[in-house]
Chains A and B, each alone.
Chain A
Amino acid sequence: MSLRNVAIVYRKELTEALRDRRTLISSILIPLLLFPVLAVGIAYTAAELIGEASREPSRIMVLGGADSPAIVDGLRQVKNLRVIPATDNYVDLISNKKIRAAVDIPPGFQAAIDRGERPDVKIYVFSGDLKSAFGATRIEKFFAEYRDAAVRRRLAAQQLPETLMKPFDIHQQNVVSAEKVAGETYGGLIPYLAILMCMTGAMYPAMDLTAGEKERGTMETILSSPIKRTHLVFGKFLLVLTASLATATLSVISMGASFAILARLTPVEGAAESFPVMPMHAQTIVAVFAMALPVAVLFSAVLITISLFARSFKEAQSYLTPMTFIVLIPAVAAVLPGLELTPKLALIPILNVSLLCKELVTGTYHWNYIALIFLSTCLYAGAALFLAVKMFQRESVLFSS
């Protein structure tokens, strides 16, 4: 292997790539902008919407309740509830979002409670509508408090302790670090993103350096030079790998920055809890990238091999687009809660690295799995690279017309 020749090809391909607007957009601009726009934009907008919904007073209707004035008065005094006069078309009003909910108080409700009966209260809502849910929750909270007060009154009348109805409390206590909580909550996102971006970053240059070269008529030019085809394919492969890793690195940096910004924004009270900050240690980042490297090699080699069969850039695009879905499925599967590494899953390419990286992010290092996954991915990557070299030596592939 002549490293000099590989380096000559790599340098030339890099020069061309850096002068190509489409490569710069796909490898640098998109990964840098994707996350601030997606994560910050969408999350901030969602938080703003939730905040707005939580602050908005809910217009509700009380159906019946004429013989339970204390209840109706109590509802009128609840903060952020606006009781409007009852009408028969409350279902339409809820459906059209003119009111958020309606509560049906049965006749003789208050008297029935006093008699120790068990009447039902119905709350009519628009399921799935956030503002309707807020209205219903406020109503339900009022009635829950009213019920608790009734229980306390009855117990006091019988001279019984309040603990009779609630002899013990139940609490859940988190025993793992905030880092692990955050890792478990959205730690899967990082490897998912890294894998997806390894693929996205490799795709354009892989097509440009093979099918693009055929289309532009430079393939015959380069094949007439004394360079060995193995050196040529290695030089091209290294450029695709560079683009793949650059895109993945920029995406992860961009995502880290987005989360940091997101944590600072905290537009709604308590939002910091819904977006726990995930402190990423240098060793975790190194570990994630060490695992992403063979994946990037695998993608680069596979994409070069496939796009080499295409005669034009457009044809290569039609071959590679389905590849995105093939990669997405195992990558998305890793984000699903509950899916954990097993020796069998550790042999499935992409899925194995996704699952492992999810654990690495939470600070868990299963060295057996790390070794197995790293070696198996290296093996797949090596096989893909070998195939790429072989395809570069096949005339029917290089001169397909």
Chain B
Amino acid sequence: MIEVRNLSKRFYDKKRGEIRAVDNISFRCQPGQVYGLLGANGAGKTTTLRMLATILEPTDGTALVCGCDIVEHPEKVRAKVGFLSTATALYPRLTARELVQYFGRLNGLDNSILNKRVDAIFDRLDMNGFRDRRCDKLSTGMKQKTSIARTLVHDPPVMIFDEPTLGLDIMTARTITAFIRECRDLGKTVIFSTHIMSEVEKLCDIIGIIQDGKLLAEGTLAQLREKYHEQDLEEIFVKVVAPHYTPAEDH
């Protein structure tokens, strides 16, 4: 489970001064649920998810991931999280298998358990055809599968996806969305950010709309439709965001 409590992140920029990338947001996501964080570019999605993955430290507030505080026990939190984004690239000079093994070892797995788990994941994701090929020689689809295998190797109860389908072709993107569904079906807590409405409609149990670092609306798709009297999610999104919208740079 993820419980976000008054989470904030401020950056300082020489030209723009203080930037509130994430401004006092709180939400919850239960196991077996997919929480979709929907927002425009620069809304604060990536910063929120990076804080939950403990890659960034919050300025204020905190979050509990499976009961562990992200500020006090970041290493413990990371051991419970699988983090995937288009920014999480692969080591080009390692083979697919070596890469997954490396992250397994960093997660404290012994060789005997690690090898069994890697074999099982490679079978499940149909990766044996390229297991010993270097990552810089893999196709985009193969790379995505390798990234998925990396996030799964320590069998984390929480999965965080930051715009995981950004820039991918439709077939590769479908691999990712299928994987997200599978994670939910396995009872994992899933949170993912996107600005693609169709993905949210298909995948998310709860939707949070974020703009300028603030969580402006939250609920199931049905609740949001009812509240904003719109059927189309894009229209709902525009209604929520438009009063607050100023084109922002990425943080």
Given A15-B98, A220-B55, A220-B87, check contact A227 B106 (CB 8 Å).
yes
B residues contacting the other copy or chain, number (CB 8 A): 29
Shortest C-beta distance, A360 to chain B (Å), equals 39
> Are A218 and B106 touching (Cβ within 8 A)?
no
Interface residues in A68-111 (C-beta closer than 8 Å to B): none
Shortest C-beta distance, A397 to chain B (Å), equals 13
Chain A residues near B50: list those with CB within 8 A.
220
User: C-beta contact mask, A1-36 vs B, less than 8 Å → 1, else 0?
Assistant: 000010011001001100110000000000000000
> Are A217 and B102 touching (Cβ within 8 A)?
no
Beta-carbon nearest neighbor of A232 in chain B: B106
| Interface-located stretch among B26-34, B73-81, B229-237 | B73-81
| Interface-located stretch among B89-97, B116-124, B203-211 | B89-97
> Are B56 and A395 touching (Cβ within 8 A)?
yes
Beta-carbon nearest neighbor of B250 in chain A: A401
User: C-beta contact mask, B122-139 vs A, less than 8 Å → 1, else 0?
Assistant: 000000000000100000
> Are B106 and A224 touching (Cβ within 8 A)?
no
A216 at the interface (CB under 8 A from B): yes
Interface residues in B57-109 (C-beta closer than 8 Å to A): 57, 75-76, 78-79, 81, 83, 85, 87-94, 98, 102-103, 105-108
Beta-carbon nearest neighbor of B147 in chain A: A221
Give CA–CA (A29, B76) in the complex, Å: 43
Which of the listed residues B50, B55, B108 has the most CB atoms from chain A within 10 Å of its own CB? B55
> Given B78, B87, B91, B93, which contacts A226 in the complex, CB threshold below 8 Å?
B78
Shortest C-beta distance, B200 to chain A (Å), equals 23
B45 at the interface (CB under 8 A from A): no
Chain B residues near A217: list those with CB within 8 A.
87-89
Shortest C-beta distance, A79 to chain B (Å), equals 66
Chain A residues near B190: list those with CB within 8 A.
none
A228 at the interface (CB under 8 A from B): yes
> Are A225 and B78 touching (Cβ within 8 A)?
yes
B150 at the interface (CB under 8 A from A): yes
> Are B106 and A395 touching (Cβ within 8 A)?
no
Interface residues in A198-219 (C-beta closer than 8 Å to B): 216-218
B53 at the interface (CB under 8 A from A): yes
A37 at the interface (CB under 8 A from B): no
User: C-beta contact mask, A227-251 vs B, less than 8 Å → 1, else 0?
Assistant: 1100000000000000000000000
> Are B94 and A220 touching (Cβ within 8 A)?
no
Chain B residues near A5: list those with CB within 8 A.
106
> Are A226 and B55 touching (Cβ within 8 A)?
no
> Are B107 and A221 touching (Cβ within 8 A)?
no
Given A16-B94, A221-B88, A221-B89, check contact A226 B107 (CB 8 Å).
yes
> Are B55 and A16 touching (Cβ within 8 A)?
no
> Are A225 and B93 touching (Cβ within 8 A)?
no
A223 at the interface (CB under 8 A from B): yes
Chain A residues near B91: list those with CB within 8 A.
12, 16, 216, 218, 221
> Are A218 and B79 touching (Cβ within 8 A)?
no
> Are B53 and A225 touching (Cβ within 8 A)?
no
Shortest C-beta distance, B192 to chain A (Å), equals 14
Interface residues of A (CB under 8 A from B): 5, 8-9, 12, 15-16, 19-20, 216-218, 220-221, 223-228, 395, 399
Cβ contacts A to B, 21 pairs, < 8 Å = A8-B106, A12-B94, A19-B134, A216-B89, A216-B92, A217-B87, A217-B88, A217-B89, A218-B88, A218-B91, A220-B87, A221-B88, A221-B90, A221-B91, A224-B55, A224-B83, A225-B103, A225-B106, A225-B107, A226-B75, A395-B56
Which 10 A-B pairs rank lowest in CB-CB distance, beginning with the nearest? Answer: A217-B89, A224-B83, A226-B78, A221-B88, A226-B79, A16-B93, A225-B106, A19-B93, A223-B55, A8-B105
